[in-house]
Amino acid sequence: MAGIIKEISKQDASELVELATRTFYDTFGSYYDDKDFDQFFKDNYTVGKFTQEINHVDSFHYFYQEDGANVGYIKMNINSAQTEEMGETYLEVQRIYFLKDFQGGGRGSQLIALAEKIAQEHNKHKIWLGVWEHNPRAQAFYKRHGFKVVGEHHFQTGDVTDTDLIMEKEL
């Protein structure tokens, strides 16, 4: 069955928290201890925080579904919702994650295509994102889609400070 991309509403916030927690843990579970994960999730992955993000006029959230189940998601930001001041011509892909068993198979490419479409609809000429410096698989994926490394920023997971590479793509 082909995947379905569904816009996320505030009523979906608890489902998004569950999926976001699972996918983040699937992706980074072997790199951090439980204390750092617990602090990260407590600070960032709550129904209240996600409801606020979903309601923000400059943020866009979508589930990727297969057989009626949410298996991935994307969060995009423009204007004041961006996590870094990149300017008015940018759309940020803040999060794009899939459950481990659903990584690959063109699913991520469909969400990148969605990001490009939304960027164009909002007259944005570039897309940017941060990708962990120790995630070569994700870096290769973004490079295949035309993204280039243009800088870096720091990302906090509990007490651990990591470096994300900032990648961008011109549309």
Whole-number percent of the chain with pLDDT over 70: 98
Show the domains of the chain with their CATH numbers: 4-170 (3.40.630.30)
Whole-number percent of the chain with pLDDT over 90: 77
What is the pTM for the complete model shown?
Answer: 0.92
Strand partners, 126: 90, 170
64 is catalytic: no
pLDDT category at 24 given cuts 50, 70, 90 is: confident
pLDDT score of 39: 80
Point out the catalytic residue in the list 62, 73, 90, 142. 142
Residue-wise pLDDT for 49-92, tens only, equals 999 999 999 999 999 999 999 999 999 999 999 999 999 999 99
